[in-house]
Amino acid sequence: MRNSSKGSGWALILAVCLAATTLGGCATLNGEPFAVQDPFEPVNRKVYGVIDSVDRRVLAPVARGYRALMPNWAERGVGNFFNNLRRIDSVANSALQGKFRHAGEDLAGLLVNSTVGIGGLIDVGARMGLEHHEEDLGQTLAVWGVTRSRYIYLPSGPSSVRDTPGTLFKSWLPELLMSGGYSLWVSLVDLLSIRAAALPLSDARDQAALDPYVFTRDAYYQRREYVIFDGDPPMDDFLEEFDELDESSE
Amino acid sequence: MRRSLLTRLIGLTGLIGLLALTSLRTHASPAEDPGQQVDALHAVLVQAMKHGGTVAERIAIIDDQVFALFDFETIARVSVGREWSKMQPAEQTRLVDLLRRLSVATYADRFDKFEGQRFERIGVQSSKTGSVVKTFIVRSNGERVSLHYYFRSGKIFNVVADGVSDLALRRSDYGSILKREGLPAMFEHVEQNVAELE
């Protein structure tokens, strides 16, 4: 009975949020700060140190080799294949946020790529103008009002308490959909494809960062705010914040 | 006496008219329009990409335009926060110069070859305290990266690429090093980054 009551409570919150997002965004989202919260910094730094060391010694050099050896079309095909499988996540989360047009576009892209695009190897949807909106569970939770979230550095990279379930689900999706076909070799290719695509970002970090841990963490928070607002976060927030920063420098 | 007053009035009116015209010309000048300033920067970046060559050659192409458009003193001041007021004038000048070299070298490194990239300006948004020029860089495969240029007092003080603010990131990053290792270490790290890029 209690469970049923809880269930209907969540359904009501979901319904209200869906209604609100359909009308232009959940009221709790606008104006809420997306500030960095890192109470687990000592542990996060240790995890970052270990993962970064493994990455620099093994994963990044292998990903560079993969990129050098694979022809561009083949590298793009592999990336397209796994991105297409993960597009189901975007379809579901666009719908959960009330962005039904985005959900429709992603669903159409998924269907076209899976059929005409030879199982997702060719991104035919992009050529037809079907944009990949890249929505995930973390963004859905943010739209529903979970804006503040503590930072966690996972073995797979930067995340937060709010974003972790979605990150894990997205990583697991290809295995779920391919079931027996997702062998160790396929998972390694998936990992290499993801790492190779991220090489320009890690190179940019290495060129600019003085404290790579802080650089990665803050870039992650900013990027998440950007995607949560669908690429259009409030401009005044930054200009006002900048004025405060500038005054505190004097 | 009356004639002299008339002459003065005519002279004054002429002067006001001249000032007004100068003012109008200044506001209409391409150099003052944030959108056109960004277009000029993009044109230079395309020129550098088409030239290719070495980093030093691309730096030579980009340097003047970046120096004229970016407010490196504000960038340096905001990057180090409260530490700015504790720094000696020579240290402040050194940091401003390092950040200019770092920015130019970063542009020269990232925009190294032309592969059909193009820039699209989608609009200028103004507010009480400044304006933002919103653009995209579009790669030949159709991939788009948003680049937003934040202006205040006619100069760029921040670039936001796909939602990631260069200035906010630098402030956290430099702030962390200042807190953990101090000012000399921060200078050492920045100089190392500049040397690696140049």
Task: Note whether A249 contacts B: Cβ–Cβ < 8 A.
Answer: yes
Residues of B in contact with A197 (CB under 8 A): none
Q: What values do phi and psi take at A134, rounded to 5?
A: 50, 60
pTM of the predicted model as reported, rounded to 2 decimal places = 0.79
pLDDT (0 to 100) of residue A207: 87
Whole-number Cα distances in Å, A69 to A47, A61, A130, B68: 31, 12, 30, 42
DSSP category for residue B92: H
A215 to B172: CB separation less than 8 angstroms, yes or no: yes
pLDDT digits (tens, 9 = 90+) for B54-106: 999 999 999 988 888 999 999 999 999 889 999 999 999 999 999 999 999 99
Calculate how close chain A gets to B27, using CA atoms only, in Å. Answer: 23
DSSP category for residue A134: -
CB atoms within 10 A of CB A105: 21
Which parts of chain A sit beneath pLDDT 70?
1-33, 235-250
B193 to A240: CB separation less than 8 angstroms, yes or no: no
- The whole-chain average pLDDT of chain A stands at 82
| ipTM of the prediction | 0.77
Q: Which two tokens stand for residue A166?
A: 């979605």
Nearest to B157 by CA among B36, B95, B69, B27: B69
Task: Note whether B174 contacts A: Cβ–Cβ < 8 A.
Answer: yes
pLDDT digits (tens, 9 = 90+) for B91-105: 999 999 999 999 999
Contact B160, B169 (CB under 8 A): no
Contact A165, A136 (CB under 8 A): no
The yes-or-no verdict on residue B29 having pLDDT over 70 is no
The yes-or-no verdict on residue B147 having pLDDT over 90 is yes
Q: Which of A238, A244, A247 to mutate to test the interface with B (most CBs of B within 10 A)?
A: A238
Q: What is the mean pLDDT of residues B17-37?
A: 54
> What does the DSSP assignment read for A153-190?
EETTEEEETTTHHHHHHHHHHHHHHHGGG--HHHHHHH
Residues of A in contact with B164 (CB under 8 A): 219, 222-223, 226
pLDDT (0 to 100) of residue B108: 92
Contact B84, B175 (CB under 8 A): no
Q: Please, which pLDDT band fits residue B28 given cuts at 50, 70 and 90? A: very low
Contact B132, B112 (CB under 8 A): no
pLDDT digits (tens, 9 = 90+) for A65-96: 999 999 989 999 999 999 998 899 999 999 99
pLDDT (0 to 100) of residue B5: 46
A222 to B165: CB separation less than 8 angstroms, yes or no: yes
Residues of A in contact with B157 (CB under 8 A): 242
Contact A217, A205 (CB under 8 A): no
Whole-number Cα distances in Å, A88 to A111, A164, B141: 10, 18, 23
Report the SS3 class of residue B108: helix
Residue whose pair of structure tokens reads 């050194």 in the numeric block? B94
B150 to A240: CB separation less than 8 angstroms, yes or no: no
Residue whose pair of structure tokens reads 């529903």 in the numeric block? A144
Higher pLDDT pick, A77 / B126: A77
pLDDT (0 to 100) of residue A2: 38
pLDDT (0 to 100) of residue A249: 59
Q: What values do phi and psi take at A58, rounded to 5?
A: -120, -65
User: What's the rounded Cα separation, in Å, for the pair B61 and A2?
Assistant: 70
Q: What values do phi and psi take at A160, rounded to 5?
A: -145, 170
Nearest to B122 by CA among B146, B152, B143, B140: B146
| Residue A234 Cα to chain centre, angstroms | 20
pLDDT digits (tens, 9 = 90+) for A179-199: 777 788 888 998 999 999 999
